[in-house]
Amino acid sequence: MNRILLITLFVILAVGAAQAQVAVIAHKGVTISSSNAAAVTDIYSLSTKEWKDGTTIVVFDIKAEGPTRTKFYNYIGKSPSELKKTWMRVQLSGEGKAPTGVGSDEEMIQKVASTPGAIGYVTASKVSGDVKVLATAN
Amino acid sequence: MKRILLVTVLCVLILQAGAFAQVEGINIFGYYQGQFEQSIVSGKGLNRAWNTLNLQQMNIMLSKDLSPAFSSFISLQLSTNFNSAKGWGSLNVEEAWVKYRGSDYFNIKAGLLVPTFNNFNEIKTKTPLLPYIMRPLVYESPMADLVSATNFIPENAFFQIYGVLPAGPVKIDYAVYAGNNQPDFISTVTKSASLSGQDTSKFKLFGGRIGVRSGSLKIGVSGTYDRTNPGSPYALPAYFRGTPLFTVAGMIGPVVRNRIGVDASYQVAGFTVEGEYIGVMHTLTESQKSFLKMVPLLTAGNLYDDLDKATYYVTLVYDFNEEWYSYASYAKLQDNFNVVFHSGMNNYSVGGGYRPTGSVVVKAQYAKYEMIDRVVADFAMDRYSLAVSVYF
């Protein structure tokens, strides 16, 4: 009886952990198969603007504050205000645009899947086969 | 009938222009900063106080991707309650350039641009990004009567190559550029030629920066090579303008000038520390050296026989959370050429801000400016400021 309880608890915790994970996703045409936090930070800081094959990177971000965005920002080691300042500096210097904001995981997947060179992030459990997963963050 | 036709044509053109702006993807954005300031000046015969409300600055910016490789950017700056009917403030084309984007490693900008020099030069007018209301000494244009920024930093260039090179765990930023001699371009030596705003000399400005980034640590070294005109209206404080000092300074002629800059910034645990040093050195010909030795005599001690200058600032910012921050800053400026700044000026500043949204910053600041040698130049100013900076 105790063993069943333990296994049930373990399964609940494992499912919870999986739901809490955030996946960094990219358009299927992106030529790299994995990435790390430092590289993703450079992309979201807009200091890396192209993939290794020269394709322009199109960055998507989740507009509203929430657990997925918070986990992703923690993963890249940036606070919302730091990123906003970085994006504002890039835009006000004429060097680029702030990432396009999306409203939900579903919209993020749809945008990344339909935009060549795109990168974004969603709750790991919501990843579909339309996009490529580059990294997973807890 | 003609008037109706004209109005109709105008309307059609305006409507088409509007449609063009949307269809062709012109981005229009910008920022402005409105402020209240209370200034109290003290010194021998100088004691006075005033306060004013002021739209310090508004920038309207336009950007457009012309193709995957080319983009264009324009920044129009209106300052100090700009009103052409009343002759207030100024309208300035701050930047207008086209960029060729080869890769992350190689980009070219051509046109009027703000060149890369240290960290602060490119963002000095971008008020929503700055914690300050009054910026460190040389960057603060309202202090232009006392300090001319163009003596210390290259304000414009016309061509720049730049990029980011990966080097293992660090990234190397580089930029090289060319532009006109400053301040006020050399052509003003011969004002009768009526070529203000142009550089009629055979010399040009060349400069660059190389920097290293690793995580939140950024360090860079900058330099420029050009010629300055000590007789320019912008080379001496405004209260010297129109005096015989100009004639004397102008007789020195174009002088070879090297600026050296060092910048560093680091972020940790909510703290950001950043600082810069700028040194301005001059290389004179033998005849210029001989003449310069006579300058103190010719100007009754108002000018010295050394053109070199230097300034630095250090700022510590603490972000309490996403909304609130505070900071303290110290800046020093020294100009060996003129008597007022020969011993230098100190600038202490403390302040803070509140960001109710990502696009609005409410700021408060106290700044003190004080001549180090109060016997030679008895001047001090306390300035209390409140401001709201909006990005749109």
Give the gyration radius of chain B's Cα atoms: 23
> What's the mean pLDDT in A73-87?
91
Q: Per CATH, which fold does A21-137 belong to? A: D-Maltodextrin-Binding Protein; domain 2 (3.40.190)
Q: What does each C-alpha distance from B287 to B257, B293, B306 come to in angstroms?
A: 16, 10, 14
Distance from CA of B203 to the nearest CA of A (A): 28
Within 13 Å and on the Cβ side, how many CA atoms surround B317?
Answer: 18
Distance from CA of B350 to the nearest CA of A (A): 21
Asked if the model's pLDDT at residue B16 lies above 70, the reply is no
Cβ neighbours for A71, distance < 8 A, ≥ 6 positions apart: A20, A21, A22, A137, A138
Q: Which of A80, A94, A97 sits opposite B95 (nearest CB)?
A: A94
Query: In chain A, at which residue ranges do the beta strands (DSSP E only) sit?
Result: 22-26, 58-62, 100-102, 118-123, 132-137
Task: Locate the domains of chain A by residue range.
Answer: 21-137
Using the Cβ of B129 and the Cβ atoms of chain A, whether some distance falls under 8 Å is answered with: yes
Distance from CA of B194 to the nearest CA of A (A): 33
Using the Cβ of A88 and the Cβ atoms of chain B, whether some distance falls under 8 Å is answered with: yes
Q: Tell me: ipTM over 0.85.
A: no
Minimum mean pLDDT among A116-130, B229-243, B251-265, B342-356: which range?
A: B229-243
Task: Locate the domains of chain B by residue range.
Answer: 33-58+96-391
Using the Cβ of A28 and the Cβ atoms of chain B, whether some distance falls under 8 Å is answered with: no
Using the Cβ of B100 and the Cβ atoms of chain A, whether some distance falls under 8 Å is answered with: no
- Could you write out the DSSP letters of every residue in B70-135? EEEEEEEEEEEEEETTTTEEEEEEEEEEEEEEEETTEEEEEEEE----TTTGGGTT-GGG-S-SSP
Using the Cβ of A2 and the Cβ atoms of chain B, whether some distance falls under 8 Å is answered with: no
pLDDT band at B193 (very low <50, low <70, confident <90, very high): low
pLDDT at B14: 43
pLDDT at B268: 92
> What's the mean pLDDT in B359-370?
95
Cβ-based contacts of A88 with chain B (< 8 Å):
126, 128-129, 391
User: B33-58+96-391 maps to which CATH number?
Assistant: 2.40.160.10
Of B105, B104, B107, B106, residue with least CA distance to B73: B107
Cβ-based contacts of A92 with chain B (< 8 Å):
29, 31, 59, 61, 123, 126, 128-129, 391
Distance from CA of A94 to the nearest CA of B (A): 6
Question: Do B104 and A80 count as a contact with CB atoms less than 8 A apart?
Answer: no
Cβ-based contacts of B68 with chain A (< 8 Å):
56
pLDDT at B330: 97
Minimum mean pLDDT among A44-48, A128-132, B201-205: which range?
A: B201-205
**Segment 357-376 of chain B within 8 Å of chain A by CB:** 358
Question: Does pTM top 0.80 for this prediction?
Answer: yes
pLDDT at B289: 86
